[in-house]
Structures are given as structure tokens and as C-alpha cells.
Amino acid sequence: MTRRSLRVAVAALLAFLGTHPAAADDLANQSFKIVYDAQGIRSLKRTIAYGGVLSREGLSIRVVPRDGLRVRFHVVRDEQRLHLVLDHDGFAKEQPVTVADDLSRVQFVVENRSGGAHATGLSVAGLPAGDYAVTVDGRHITTISGGSPTATAVSLPIGATPGVRVVVARTAR
């Protein structure tokens, strides 16, 4: 694949994901491989994090969001489409969002941007079918159901601390 066709393939992928095509040059300079044929992009041979730094830890990926506001996090791979959106607060600076490969567990730190105690909203969509416990700093808040095409809204209690650890984990079957 030539460098030009790689840029075209990356631009098509970014357009599909709703990302500005100008970022194609940055991604094309990375050494990931795209399997490309007359039908278009078939698969990525390397996991990438657009707007963050990615690392692997066992059967999970860890992404440190660096997209500015740090209020949205999306996993888009094969048939998986996980979407997390925070309002009022954001994902903590330089703290990873950890996602199990099978989406059975998501863990992150919410940064308290107001300073005082309050509640912030978390919208969750794309979890596989099942029940998921939502905990904040180890305290059970609610249980949500995955497998629905619509987003589930969760109210997270945020204390008067710099941040709280949130875990969304599939409960035992």
C-alpha cells in the first residue's frame, strides 16, 4: 500500500468515525497497517486511540484521554460500540480509562470540576447484554442493563474531593 492510499484509507476511516479528515496525516505517519482492498477497509491490525495514549494491560486496554475536554470516551471495534459521556465533569487528567476486551468492566476517575459536592450525569450506551453494577469509590450506586440500543443515564455522586473512581462491571451470571 502506498503512502497516498494509506492516507485515503485513514481519511475514510476517520470520516466514518465522525472525525475531521485533517487528522489523517497524523495517523498515516504512525506505523499501523490497514488491510485495504477494492471493497474498502476490512480491518485494523493494531488498536489505536484517537485523542489519547493507549496501552495494554492483560485482557484490557488503558487509554489516557488527551482530547481537551475529556468528557467523551468511545470504543469502536468490530461489532463493539461503547459510548461514555459525562456532563459537568470529565475524565481525570492523565488518569486512564480501563476497558476489558469483552466490555465486561470499565473503570475511570471522574475529575470534580466544580470543587464542591454534587451529582454529575453519565450516559452509557453499547454495553453487551447483562446487568452491570455501577460503583463510585467502592460504593454501589445502581445496577444498569446492557444490550439496549439506547443510552442509560446514571447520576454519579461526586464528593468535595478532586476526583472519584467509577467502575461499571458486569455482575455474576
**Topology of domain 51-170, CATH:** Immunoglobulin-like (2.60.40)
Task: Report the range of poorest mean pLDDT among 41-45, 61-65, 107-111, 128-132.
Answer: 41-45
Residues of the chain with CATH 2.60.40: 51-170
Q: Which amino acid is at 51?
A: G
Alpha-carbon distance of 67 to 55, in angstroms, equals 16
> For residue 20, which amino acid is it?
H
Residue 78 pLDDT: 81
pLDDT band at residue 38, thresholds of 50, 70 and 90? Answer: very low
Q: Provide the mean pLDDT of the chain.
A: 82
**Closest by CA position to 50, among listed 60, 65, 61:** 65
Region for 89 from its dihedrals, namely left if φ exceeds 0, alpha if ψ lies in -120 to 50, beta otherwise? beta
Across residues 138-142, what is the average pLDDT? 98
Count the Cβ atoms, other than its own, within 10 Å of residue 38: 4
Segment 74-100 shows an average pLDDT of 93
Distance between first and last Cα of the chain: 45
Q: Residue range 101-126: average pLDDT?
A: 96
- Predicted confidence at residue 27, as pLDDT, reads 46
Task: Give the per-residue pLDDT at 66.
Answer: 87
pLDDT band of residue 29 (cuts 50, 70, 90) is very low
CB of 125 closer than 8 Å to CB of 150:
yes
